[in-house]
Amino acid sequence: MAYFKDLKRYEYSKNLFKCAGEPLNIGWLERCAPYPNGVVAPELTKKLLALCKFPVNRYRGWHGCHFCKEYPVRITDSDGEFCLGDGEIRVAAKDENFTYVAPNLIYHYVIAHQYLPPDVFLDALRALSLPNPAVVWILEWIEAFQNQPAILSDLLDRTLRLDKPSLPPELRGAVVEAANELKVGESPGSDARETTESIVNRLKSELTKPK
């Protein structure tokens, strides 16, 4: 994993999915650079784990840990075993002028290597209401593939088959419907009246509707 200083502008990739305001680095550690040590409160490590298990901007393969050389880094909780090092998490700052972007290895750095992230990040994490990870994945795919209905439809089908993360039951119907409508729109000679854009917009508004 590359080293980037905490609270400097994020530059690891161009994917700014879910980054409101300026994206800032958190937890891009490397052996060459010292980092602050400390203990993070259990309620925050629990939230961090929930985010890190299902990262966004996922990479092909994993990045291992530079400190203990574990590759890939594995974690186990009540849901089973997960590997870290394959993506990122986003935490919006309380004032929404910034979004903190961390590699999902941050959970391992905090637990195994006593990394203490900056207070502003911990405050933002405390204030964050955890999103449903399956919904976050779908929103990310919509952003990436909204003009490629065949790919998007496959990804929606795949999400419906996943045990973890699982979609809230009340949203499954909307996802099934959108996946099917996107397929109809793709078939030759189809007289589907709806364009991909309106199918996608309807799904997006279902997924982001306040509960």
Residue 65 contacts Zn ion per CB under 5 A: yes
Distances (CA, A) of 3 to 38, 63, 67: 20, 12, 13
Residue 127 contacts Zn ion per CB under 5 A: no
**Sequence-ordered strand ranges (E) for the chain:** 22-25, 73-77, 80-84, 88-92, 98-103
Minimum distance of Zn ion from residue 30's CB (angstroms): 12
Alpha-carbon gap, residue 80 to 72, rounded angstroms:
16
Q: Which stretch binds Zn ion (CB under 5 A): 25-33, 60-68, 81-89, 182-190?
A: 60-68
Residue 66 contacts Zn ion per CB under 5 A: no
Q: Which tokens belong to 58?
A: 């996922």
Minimum distance of Zn ion from residue 196's CB (angstroms): 43
Among 68, 130, 150, 162, contact with Zn ion (rule: CB under 5 A): 68
For Zn ion, the closer of residues 103 and 133 by Cβ is 103
Burial group, residue 58, by CB count within 10 angstroms (0-12, 13-18, 19+): middle
Among 17, 67, 72, 118, contact with Zn ion (rule: CB under 5 A): 67
Say if CB 48 and CB 112 are below 8 A apart. Answer: no
Q: Which stretch binds Zn ion (CB under 5 A): 35-43, 90-98, 112-120, 178-186?
A: 112-120
| Other Cβ atoms closer than 10 A to 55 | 23
Q: Which stretch binds Zn ion (CB under 5 A): 61-69, 133-141, 151-159, 171-179?
A: 61-69
Minimum distance of Zn ion from residue 112's CB (angstroms): 5
- In which residue are the tokens 């979609």 written? 167
Binding site for Zn ion (CB under 5 A): 65, 67-68, 112
